[in-house]
Amino acid sequence: MTSTYNGATLPHLNNQAWSNTVTNTGRGGEPIEILLVEDDPDHADLTMDALGKGKVRNRISHVEDGVEAMAFLRREGKYRDAPRPDLILLDLHMPRKDGREVLEEVKTDPQLKRIPVVMLTSSTDEKDVLGVYERHVNCYIVKPVDFEQFTRAVMSIEHFWFSIVKLPAA
């Protein structure tokens, strides 16, 4: 199965709810846990592929909307054994519960509020940018349209958050 991103054909990653993980080797110790909240399967595949090419050892869990994200983060139902993420990559516009609502819940929950949240979205609307920074997003990145630029953007997220920034222990 293949996916496309703005006309480019991409290899399809086998999407099996949250248990689908991409593990990248390259750093000793435990892998970095990343929660990807993205409703567009092509964007999710592209993001996971780019993170899989990075230099930091990571494990990516993917959910498709905000309701699933909060169940994952709270370890409810089928997510009772879900790992606590070190970073959340969050799309803004999603069905059922959008990124703003997820961000608000994460940043007001004493157990979750220290997890960095990167808004990874196609929206360039200044109201969206301001709205999520008012809700304490850690970073707002507009998804580049170009396939190569998108891959570089995702890899730079990984480099910044796991090679430069010192994060608190879970």
Does residue 12 register a pLDDT over 50?
no
**Is the residue at 168 inside a domain?**
no
Which percentage of the chain shows pLDDT scores above 70? 79
Please name the helix (run of DSSP H) or strand (run of DSSP E) that holds residue 9, with its range, or none: strand 8-11
Residue 17 has pLDDT above 70, yes or no: no
Question: pLDDT digits over 21-72, tens only?
Answer: 444 433 346 778 899 999 999 889 888 888 887 766 778 999 999 999 999 9
Is residue 126, in this structure, part of any structural domain at all? yes
pLDDT at 129: 94
- Assess if residue 74 is contained within a domain: yes
Q: What is the CATH number of the domain that holds 18?
A: 3.40.50.2300
Task: Give the model confidence (pLDDT) of 60-69 as tens digits.
Answer: 999 999 999 9
- Please give the C-alpha separations between residue 5 and each of 72, 93, 113, 168, in angstroms, as whole numbers: 27, 18, 32, 35
The letter for the amino acid at 114 is R
Q: Which domain range does residue 145 map to?
A: 2-163
Residue 132 has φ and ψ, to the nearest 5°, of -80, -30
28 in a domain, yes or no?
A: yes
Domain count, the chain: 1
Mean residue pLDDT of the chain comes to: 81
Positive or negative: CA dihedral 17, 153, 102, 162: positive
pTM, to two decimals: 0.81
Asked if residue 145 is part of any domain, the answer here is yes
Query: Residue 132: inside a domain, yes or no?
Result: yes
Domain annotation covers residue 170: no
Could you tell me if residue 169 is inside a domain? no
